Amino acid sequence: MTGLQPLLAVTPGEPAGIGPEIVLRFRLEYPDFRILAVADPDLLRQTAKAMAFDLKIREWRPGMITDTGELACLPVGLQAPAVPGRLNPQNAEYVLDTLRQAVMVVREGRADALVTGPVHKGVINESGIPFSGHTEFLAEMAGVPQVVMMLAAPGLRVTLVTTHLPLRAVADAITRKKLEDVVRITERALRDRFGIRQPRLQILGLNPHAGEGGHLGREEGDIIIPVLERLRAEGMLLDGPVPADTAFNPGRLAACDAVVAMYHDQGLPVLKHMGFGRAVNITLGLPFIRTSVDHGTALDIAGKGCADTGSLREAALAATNMATLESAGNG
């Protein structure tokens, strides 16, 4: 990376959703960010025309510097025309191709970080391609056995031990190894990606009242406490297991750098309440930086010209900050 701002490879995601609009609008509203759209250039041109955006789409080449009013694009072709608000399974492979191309550009060092727009898991699976989400897809692409989903908003970072599982499957999925891996990846990322010298983590219990000494569940005593004791012996600063109903008060949050939640809806409702529209999804444990918006495809407003770029701005800012820190560490 040079003295320029980091270059962010941005995938708009589902072509029928608000992704193409927010990428174009973001380029106009925040020209100081350097972004490379990995998408179908004709889709971007059609969207710009429909939205009356004065923005020229230019095919990207390494080292390109775009002028105001221009957006660099790494071309990836749609399989079928995209209509705002109307999902088409024929374009599922296109969505995945944009991710593959963007990852390749980042891993080759031609871009500094990956920022992803919203995808629609249902239509990808409907096309016959098994797909459980960005996080799992990117982990498989990178060949890493374990990644961690973090959502971050002003004043709060939350990582998850389990992600997209039915609630009845959560307890069985929490093992000592799984919990240890998540805590280690979270702690290391706070050091390496966020520049925190001695990260302080708050680890939630699984059960009400963190198990009430075994009366409301045994996972705390059998799994969580032994893992935390072992990691504390290595010098990690870990608080827990903490009951989830008291973990998010201001005093506790001020005393930690991240909260490790046992399952998706244990930690994320609080985070989205605190920072909806300003939250960022960050994948920890990948060999490259990846951030994402915290919202979905918003098919109901696609093509109507009212999509908000707030979450994309936060995702781009987080990626830029992490890439800048990484560059300084390697310099």
Same domain, 196 and 310: no
Q: Is 44 helix (H, G, I), strand (E, B) or coil?
A: helix
How confident is the model at residue 180, as a pLDDT? 98
Same domain, 108 and 15: yes
Same domain, 232 and 308: no
Residue from 118, 179, 156 nearest 267 by CA: 156
Tens digit of pLDDT for each residue in 264-283?
999 999 998 888 778 899 99
Alpha helices, H only, the chain: 19-29, 41-51, 92-107, 121-126, 134-142, 167-173, 176-192, 219, 225-233, 250-254, 264-275, 310-330
Distance CA 77, CA 51 (A): 21
The total of other beta-carbon atoms located within 10 Å of residue 277's CB is 15
Does pLDDT of 122 surpass 50?
yes
Same domain, 129 and 94: yes
Same domain, 78 and 130: yes
Single-letter amino acid, residue 208: P
Tens digit of pLDDT for each residue in 285-320?
999 999 999 889 999 999 999 999 999 999 999 999
Same domain, 3 and 133: yes
CATH number at residue 98: 3.40.718.10
With cut-offs at 50, 70 and 90, classify the pLDDT of residue 161.
Answer: very high
Distance CA 121, CA 74 (A): 23
Same domain, 74 and 170: no
Same domain, 51 and 130: yes
On average, the pLDDT of the chain sits at 94
Same domain, 253 and 179: yes
Number of domains within the chain = 2
Q: Which residue is listed with tokens 């080759």?
A: 108
Same domain, 194 and 131: no
Phi then psi dihedrals of residue 280, to 5 deg: -130, 135
What's the pTM value of the predicted model, to 2 decimals? Answer: 0.91
Q: Which of 248, 265, 280 corresponds to the end of one domain?
A: 280
Tens digit of pLDDT for each residue in 50-103?
999 999 999 998 888 888 889 999 999 999 999 999 999 999 999 999 999 999
How confident is the model at residue 2, as a pLDDT? 46
Distance CA 189, CA 196 (A): 9
Same domain, 160 and 31: no
Same domain, 15 and 129: yes
Q: Which residue is listed with tokens 């990322």?
A: 189
Domain with 117 in it: 1-144+286-331
Burial label for 285, CB within 10 Å (0-12, 13-18, 19+), is: buried
Tens digit of pLDDT for each residue in 227-269?
999 999 999 999 999 999 999 999 999 999 999 999 999 999 9
